[in-house]
């Protein structure tokens, strides 16, 4: 979910997706009340193998269950849910990524918001390939370049506006991006200035 939505919009979306488990941060959903069947879990409090028993929903199923609902906002109207099922995500990963194909040191930089399909597919692809993952919580071109250089990132995905900002920032400084082998982008065509 786009945590930048107004609280009333977020409340309405929570009602639409319940029952579900939502991983978030406390501050992103301050002031919201979870509807019946909704489990709000602070991502900073995820299980760590500390022996503490937690209540998790039943995870059995045949793959046709909903894995992700992405809310897309068009130019008019309320956000619409794009439904991705476990079988859809598995089909994508199995058809595009070779299992454990990452080389030692391969690192994916995730900088696309978590409510974007690119973020979800990039996380799943990196895990399946066995790449290390680093996250950039809030995109800024200089921060992206700094993290890319510091973490020796090999793979990244950006949307076109991010790519334009990165290229513009490259003209302002120097970074060692020698580890970077691939940048993917999508969403719209890229408009260069």
| Mean per-residue pLDDT pooled into runs of 10, the chain (193 residues) | 78 85 75 82 69 66 87 71 91 95 96 86 95 94 98 94 93 95 78 58
Residue whose pair of structure tokens reads 């003209």 in the numeric block: 171
pTM summary value = 0.78
Q: What angle do CA 42, 14, 46 make, to 5 degrees?
A: 15
52: Cβ–Cβ under 8 A, 6 or more apart, which residues? none
The secondary structure of the chain in percent helix, strand, coil, rounded to multiples of 5, reads 35, 20, 45
d(CA 65, CA 25): 25
| pLDDT the model gives residue 115 | 80
Residue whose pair of structure tokens reads 């930089």 in the numeric block: 109
């Amino acid at each position: 979910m786009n945590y930048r939505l107004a609280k009333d919009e977020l409340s309405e979306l929570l009602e639409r997706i319940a029952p579900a488990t939502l991983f978030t941060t406390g501050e992103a959903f301050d002031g919201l009340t979870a509807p019946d069947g909704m489990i709000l879990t602070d991502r900073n409090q995820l299980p760590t193998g500390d022996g503490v028993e937690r209540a998790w929903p039943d995870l059995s199923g045949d793959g046709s269950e909903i894995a992700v609902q992405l809310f897309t906002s068009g130019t008019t109207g309320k956000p619409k849910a794009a439904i991705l099922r476990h079988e859809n995500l598995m089909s994508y990963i199995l058809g595009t990524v070779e299992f454990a194909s990452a080389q030692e040191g391969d690192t994916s930089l995730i900088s696309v918001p978590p409510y974007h399909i690119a973020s979800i597919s990039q996380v799943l692809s990196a895990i399946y390939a066995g790449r290390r993952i680093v996250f950039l919580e809030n995109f800024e071109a200089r921060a992206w370049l700094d993290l890319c250089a510091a973490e020796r990132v090999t793979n990244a995905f950006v949307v076109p506006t991010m790519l334009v900002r990165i290229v513009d920032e490259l003209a302002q400084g120097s970074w060692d991006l020698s580890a970077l082998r691939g940048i993917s982008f999508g969403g719209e065509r890229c408009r260069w200035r």
